[in-house]
Amino acid sequence: MFELTDTRREVLAAVCDTVVPAIARDPDRDGFFARKASDLWVPQVIEYLLAGMPDDQRASLLALLEALDQTDFARRSPRSREQTLREVSLSGPNATRATDALRALTLFLFYGLPDERGQNPNWSTLGYPGPVATAPAADRPLATYTPDGDTALEADVCIVGSGAGGGVIAGVLSAQGLNVVVLEAGGYFDDADFNQLEIPAYQDLYWRGGPTPTADANVSLLAGCCLGGGTIVNWTNSLRPTARVREQWQREFGLEGLADGDFDHHLDAVWERLQVNDRCSQLNRPQQLMKGGAEKLGWSFKPVHRNTDERRYSFKMNRPR
């Protein structure tokens, strides 16, 4: 198992407590301001997460800790640590990415890490109640098969990924009598498994456990990695590609058949299968104000289309509170 050296471990704790330091403030009813990152075991959890990171990401963070150790970072004053961390982060693009990643991870864990009761001491100050009652356990609607060792399966079609695209294609082909195998790398999680805790949700449902930056760190990708893929982790917003976008895809990327009317029939089939509609988008007060402002400016404003079952949505909206 991967372990940090004692020196790197000391530097990591100092970095975390620099990102989230203890601040003297009176009053401090819940001890929120006096609480630093290491009080919630954030450095230890980051060390644990380092073991599961891709080699390049882990090497980048370890290089940052080594560079900070050479500045005697752990024994500097809090103010000096802040300045040193800033200077190191500006020393190059790799250092910037590593510093930003470590800062974001520290904040994410400090405000999201649950204790054995499923609570975080910071939540009371923020007014967040934490998880409420989860759905009762029920029979899973799908029967899955997990191979044990080398396994040979015969099928007419093999689909890699059970997300929105793979799921629709599998359903259409199987309805036509084909024998279809769908391969999914992630686990099978249903309503009763959703414990309403952010960190476990990232670990269970997302590829690589959460946001994954591109090589240049300009974009972070959030990809579902579970049975159902993006249909499980994403909101139900359903955007139909416009004619202009489809023409660009066909012209610049060689995707044939997108610009003509036949492609609309395929979109219609997906829309019907996913029950996409614009009748399940209730506007809250801020959205109502945005709608009014858009109308006064002469801008277009349309309810978003969602792949939501109207019957279930109506039940949720009308059930007693």
Distance CA 293, CA 304 (A): 17
| Rg for the chain, CA atoms, rounded | 25
Alpha-carbon span 155 to 179, nearest angstrom: 5
235-273 residues labelled b (16+ CB within 10 A) or e (exposed): ebebeeeeeeebeeebeeeeeeebbeeebeeeeeebbee
Distance (Å, whole) CA 20 – CA 35: 8
pLDDT of the residue at 320: 44
Contact 206, 223 (CB under 8 A): yes
State the amino acid at position 21 in one-letter form: P
What is the C-alpha to C-alpha distance for residues 10 and 84, in angstroms, rounded to an integer? 16
Query: What are 108-152's pLDDT values in tens digits?
Result: 999 999 988 889 999 999 999 888 877 888 888 899 999 988 999
Nearest to 255 by CA among 266, 246, 264: 246
Closest by Cα among 20, 192, 39, 221 to 108: 20
Contact 98, 60 (CB under 8 A): yes
The two three-digit tokens of residue 18, written as one number: 């620099």
285-312: pLDDT as tens digits: 999 999 999 999 999 998 899 988 888 7
Cα 49 to Cα 40, 53, 208, distances in angstroms: 15, 7, 11
Q: Measure the CA angle with vertex 77, ends 74 and 82; round to 5°.
A: 85
Say how far apart CA 32 and CA 39 lie, in whole Å: 11
pLDDT of residue 173: 95
Q: Left if phi > 0, otherwise alpha if psi is -120 to 50, otherwise beta: which for 191?
A: alpha
Does this model's pTM top 0.85? no
Q: Are 270 and 240 in contact (CB under 8 A)?
A: no
Residue pLDDT tens, the chain, 321 long: 567 899 999 999 999 999 999 999 999 989 999 999 999 999 999 999 998 888 888 999 999 999 999 999 999 999 999 999 999 999 988 899 899 989 999 999 999 999 888 899 999 999 998 888 778 888 888 999 999 889 999 999 999 999 988 998 999 999 999 999 999 999 999 888 998 899 989 989 999 888 887 777 678 888 899 999 988 888 888 899 999 999 999 999 999 999 888 899 989 988 888 889 998 888 889 999 999 999 999 999 988 999 888 887 664 555 444
**How many Cα atoms within 13 Å fall on the side-chain side of residue 27?**
3
CA 95 to chain centre: 24
| Cα dihedral: 159, 165, 167, 169 (round 10) | -70
